[in-house]
Structure 1
Amino acid sequence: MRATTRLTLTATISASAMLLAACGGGSGSSGSSASGDSASKEGGSISVRGCNPENPLIPGATTETCGGDVIDAVTARLVHYNVDTAKPENDIAESIETQDNQTFTIKLKKGYKFSDGTEVKAKNFVDAWNYTALSTNAQGASYFMEPIEGFADLQAEEGQQPKAKTMSGLKVVDDHTFTIKTTDKVSNLPERLGYSAFAPLPDSFTKDPKAFGDKPVGAGPYVVESWTKNQSIVLKKNPSYSGSNKGSLDQITFKIYQDSSAAYNDVMAGNLDVTDEVPSSAITADKYKTDLPDRNAQKEYGGISTVTFASAKADPAVQNPKVRQAISMAIDREAVIKSQFNGTRTPATGWVATTVNGYKAGACGEFCTYDAAKAKAKLQEAGGFTGKLTLSYNADASHKDWTEATCQSIKEALAIDCVATPVVDFKTFRTQVKKREMKGMFRTGWQMDYPSIENFLTPIFATGASSNDGDYSNAAFDAKLKEAAAATDSAKANELYQEAEGMLKEQMPSIPLWYPKSTIGWSPKVTNVKISAFGKPDYVGIKLK
């Protein structure tokens, strides 16, 4: 949650769904991501920083990192993304084969178990994906099922019933084999299947989905022992785990914090073992390196920080593309990065992370380059802007300082009354965004769900997409996405996706800000602490000294 679609809580960018992960900082080279593990031991328990999941802990409902961190530990999917490279590696899948990029045959490993001891079978995937896709189930990650033939028949307007409850493109062949047929060719479908929305669900799920959301049953290395709302989520090692990504620890407790600085202070005091976010106050002048000597790491990952404009339904005042372009040119990214992040960001020149397959610099053109004079001229061309412009952020992570600095840059360049506006926590913030109650601008970010340029475009900007918070809609853009997905050659597909990305600057549905690095810190008692290619701590791999 976010691969896949992860909106992220923190000041860097999750994802999944849908939009940021951890802060930047580091312990040495930018590629460094792990502590040593030469003196590690098996078992034991640790506590790590957590945050309030936006939704029940159902794979198809979880599109943000607060719930996604838990889902990643308790589920297994057809493929597993390599911690260091994000390369897809078969997990529950024995094989994934296709001759035409439209019909795929999936064979499962025999004997792979859920945490309740039942075997993972083909029907558990087919039933789970149908449940996620069915519009009446209101699953946030349903969009990931759209390429499958018959998805449209499971969609209906609110208050209406869909024509079907199962997708025609999914067929169970036998207990360990099923097929996927997509409406159009999808060249990167195998890479997508490691996202959490594609996790299988046990037969017991349909008996009580609500209870499952509090205490999910998965096939991953850990199980949810308890979830005390607003306080903690406790994971225990799964005794039935059948895969190769085993955890060392007996217990992992996600302690839920409303303030990232409090979590950081607890790590320094030894009251918390891992924090996935280093607050900006510690990033400044590399203070965290002194606070946590030899107990910090930094790594670039597939993510981006952005600011999204409210939809027309929520705020008609910010719909003029020229106003949006002017605001973007009024943001001095270099200055904000220097003052707020101690240089641990890189100014964004487009909407796709630099680390993913298909990235191309410069998609945003001049509109992502700070130029106060051009910004003023563009605003005059638009007819000006009157009233207050809010830049909202969730107050339970380190966003206050950089949002205020960003607003100050806009004020100085355009004389617009820009006000950084806090919302109590990520769950409340995302609820307001989803209900189209958020006005002006609001912070967003994206943690890749899978390492492809497509993942930074389709889920966020396709018409009606699940993470399309600004309701951007462009028929030509949608057509280009479809053309790219049908390409059989990956280089050609990337070229077409790059053309689609270039269209975004015409309406500027969001403002690219910067590409982040993830910075984490840990206590003296743990080792083998690594940052994954998705910018999150590899909780399953952590060990005690």
Structure 2
Amino acid sequence: MSRLIKSCITLLSVICLTVSCTEPQLNNHQAVVIGLDSDVTTLNPLYVSREAEANISELIYLALVGYDWDSEKGEVISYPLLAKKIEWNGDSSSVLITIRDDIKWSDGDKVTTDDIVYSFDLYSDPKVQSRFYGIFNNYYLNQDLSIDLEKTFKIISPTRLEIKFKPNVPTSTFDFDMPILPKHLFKNIKREELATSDIGFKPIGSGPYILDKWDRNQSIQLVKNAKSVLVNGNTIDKIIFKVIPDYNSRINQLRKGEIDITENISPEDMRDLKSDNDIVMIARRGREYDYLGLKNVGSEKENQGSNQLFGNKNIRKALSFALNRESILKEYLLGNGELMTGPIAPIFKSSFNSDLISFKYDLQKAKELLQNAGWKDNDGDGVIEKDGKKFEFTLSIPSGNPLRNYSATIFQNNLKAVGIDVKLNTLEPAVFFEKMFNKELEAWIAGWMVPIPLDLKPYWYSDTQIAQANVYGYKNLRVDWLLDNLEKKLTKSEYANTLREFQQIIYDEQPALFLFWIDNIVGYNKRIKNMKINPLGAVQKCWTWELAQ
């Protein structure tokens, strides 16, 4: 996976991916078909946004580095792709990169360091408006946030390049892991027209696969790039990304042996599929979570004397105690997940604050907190009130998500038990998310996927121009300071301590009601060898896959 793993906002209307076995006319079963719920819109690395688009694009365009997951340490580790050697200076303020001299674009031209510099120029150009625009904070920048090429890059030779960074910033391979683009092709297109150019549909890359055929809304067929240094005689000949919108069809094909792998299997289907000896089931732990969001959380100072329902952190804690999340985890998810304490997943072992304990279902504790805050049922109608205002609100959910529908019903009944009247409102997903980002919803259930590397600022920083995912309106100056501090060069200990304090504050203030981490259940046919399924994904490093004969 490349820089897409650091995308800031990934809503958990999760895209289901499936991989099917070969079509009958293919010999020796040297093909894998990866099913998509919908067609991709582009293969241009400047603009790919969905996970499926990135999976395809990264098989065509190589980056300098790729990533594996170290489950023991709970962190990513990089490995060279286009790069041959990466040498940091003493304080990591610059890096000398030597690229391989045996990699060519699929049209025959050699990949050079000139392509690398040109790629970063495009990625940071405001005229291009790439998916990475505005994120090059560790580089020397011009006023328009484009990279200052003279200060940043020094081309030593066609295979050697030095990159210089601003002083006292936390540099890593994540700063230069974007797919590299062929300058000799992209330079012929006006930058303002790159988003709509045919190059998004007719890519020329340097990766292990080449685009062979794209039938819109049907399939995308890649063929092995025999000249790639990454492939060998056992590398799968063809990878076909096929549009298969219906979930039940994917599950049925998996059962029949027509599909080799599918993600996001429901817990009920997982239970049934476990009995099939040809299918291996794996629960991919923990970057996806659901939460219950509340409007106008604000700051404690702002909300003193306020009439906002959710402005008092003790009210939010009462709501957390009132929600029976354990029952959902046990009865609906069948244990395929875990309760949350905050927005950093336990899989990030060095960053996770293990001292925190998730809020347990405790109606009595919830009632005590509400009463202490002045909320009582004075007229005996079963709904608590304060200063003549009933404690009632509308909880919105997106349609087509059975888990959130189930959770909303459970929570409605839980909150009724403590005297809170909750009305449920189901909205079409497009309408739901538009209203959520416009802060028009009173309360809602949604989800996020945690970016890798951890990037918390878009969700919890007070300035919503920077934190567009701070849909709760949360403000805390200490949290702001901590998030700013994470952008400085810190020791491992300082970094861990900063994250621990951040988690403690979020836990104490409950700006959102954290529900559960949700496992992504993957099923695959045992004939596929060398698959790695981990927090980085299931469809990764496909050139290392093999099919048992």
Residue identity in the other structure for 1:180? I
**TM-score scaled to structure 2, two decimals?**
0.75
Alpha carbons 1:107, 1:177 under 8 Å: kept: yes
Does 2:8 align with 1:5?
Answer: no
Does 2:271 align with 1:289?
Answer: no
Match of 2:78 among 68, 88, 100: 88
**TM-score scaled to structure 1, two decimals?**
0.76
Residues 345-381 of structure 1: CA deviation (Å, up to 9, x unaligned) = 1112221122225332358766x44333444565674
Seen in structure 2, the aligned counterparts of structure 1 residues 43 and 142 have a Cα distance that, compared at 3 Å, is farther
Seen in structure 2, the aligned counterparts of structure 1 residues 247 and 104 have a Cα distance that, compared at 3 Å, is farther
Structure 2 equivalent of residue 205 of structure 1:
186
SS in 1 for 2:332: helix
Write 1 or 2 for the structure with the bigger share of helix. 1
CA drift at 1:119: 2.6
Which sections of structure 1, spanning at least 5 residues, go unmatched? 7-14, 25-40, 156-163
CA distance in 1, matches of 2:282, 2:256: 21
CA distance in 1, matches of 2:121, 2:476: 28
CA distance in 2, matches of 1:133, 1:523: 42
Structure possessing the higher relative contact order (Cα contacts under 8 Å, 6 or more residues apart): 1
Aligned pairs for 1:71-82 (under 5 A) are: 71-82=57-68
Alpha carbons 1:5, 1:64 under 8 Å: kept: no
Residues 86-125 of structure 1: CA deviation (Å, up to 9, x unaligned) = 4211222221413223333333222323333333322323
Residue identity in the other structure for 2:161? F
Match of 2:104 among 98, 104, 113: 113
SS in 1 for 2:168: coil
Alpha carbons 1:46, 1:251 under 8 Å: kept: yes
RMSD of aligned Cα (Å)? 3.9
CA distance in 1, matches of 2:494, 2:347: 19
Does 2:363 align with 1:372?
Answer: yes
Residue identity in the other structure for 2:58? D
Does 2:90 align with 1:99?
Answer: yes
SS in 1 for 2:330: helix
Instruction: Flag the structure with larger Rg.
Output: 2
Seen in structure 2, the aligned counterparts of structure 1 residues 465 and 79 have a Cα distance that, compared at 3 Å, is farther
CA drift at 1:390: 0.4
Match of 2:520 among 500, 518, 521: 518
CA distance in 1, matches of 2:40, 2:437: 14
Residue identity in the other structure for 1:517? D
Aligned pairs for 1:170-319 (under 5 A) are: 170-174=152-156, 175-191=158-174, 193-194=176-177, 198-203=178-183, 204-206=185-187, 207=189, 208-210=194-196, 211-243=198-230, 248-283=235-270, 286-290=271-275, 292-301=276-285, 303-307=287-291, 309=293
SS in 2 for 1:417: strand
Seen in structure 2, the aligned counterparts of structure 1 residues 311 and 414 have a Cα distance that, compared at 3 Å, is closer
Structure 2 equivalent of residue 403 of structure 1:
404
**90-99 vs 51-60, greater mean Cα deviation:** 51-60
Does 2:110 align with 1:130?
Answer: no
Seen in structure 2, the aligned counterparts of structure 1 residues 530 and 138 have a Cα distance that, compared at 3 Å, is same
Alpha carbons 2:341, 2:514 under 8 Å: kept: yes
Structure 2 equivalent of residue 482 of structure 1:
484
CA distance in 2, matches of 1:433, 1:112: 47
Seen in structure 2, the aligned counterparts of structure 1 residues 277 and 357 have a Cα distance that, compared at 3 Å, is same
CA distance in 2, matches of 1:231, 1:363: 50
Match of 1:542 among 527, 542, 545: 545
CA distance in 2, matches of 1:468, 1:217: 35
Match of 1:52 among 35, 38, 46: 38
Alpha carbons 1:389, 1:441 under 8 Å: kept: yes
SS in 2 for 1:82: strand
CA drift at 1:338: 1.0
Percentage identity across paired residues of the two chains: 18
CA distance in 1, matches of 2:220, 2:59: 12
Aligned pairs for 1:327-366 (under 5 A) are: 327-361=319-353
Alpha carbons 2:257, 2:525 under 8 Å: kept: yes
Alpha carbons 1:351, 1:364 under 8 Å: kept: no
Which sections of structure 2, spanning at least 5 residues, go unmatched? 17-26, 298-306, 376-385
CA distance in 2, matches of 1:244, 1:16: 32
Q: How many residues align?
A: 491
Residues 428-451 of structure 1: CA deviation (Å, up to 9, x unaligned) = 58974797487443522315434x
SS in 1 for 2:484: helix
**523-532 vs 267-276, greater mean Cα deviation:** 523-532
Alpha carbons 2:218, 2:242 under 8 Å: kept: yes
